[in-house]
Amino acid sequence: MDLAKVTHNKKEAKMLSYQTTNEIVNLTFSKEFLSVPELVRLIETLRIKELFSKSQVTQDDIIKLDEDIKANWWNENKDRFLIKIE
């Protein structure tokens, strides 16, 4: 892909265009391109990606944390669910 400005056509230029350099990507799109919830999700995804890129956390650490959270949740909430079964 060319690192210069990319615009698909005049009609799409209003919808989506981007420009890249060695270190930066500028993304421009119409407000009609994404709904507010979709835009928020995109921004959150990019922020999470940025945080993970700076993190020293390993995949094993994440899996262990996930297991701990689930185990703690179950220990704190199991009575609410098991009482319905009895």
Structural domain spans, the chain: 6-85
At 13 the pLDDT is 47
Q: Which residues of 49-78 are buried (b: 16+ CB within 10 A; e: fewer)?
A: eeeeeeeeeeeeeeeeeeeeeeeeeeeeee
Average pLDDT across each block of 10 residues of the chain; the chain has 86 residues. List them in order. Answer: 49 74 91 90 91 86 91 88 80
pLDDT of residue 75: 87
- The pLDDT score that the predictor gives to residue 53 is 84
pLDDT value, residue 69:
92
The predicted structure's pLDDT at residue 3: 47
Is the model's pTM score more than 0.75?
A: no
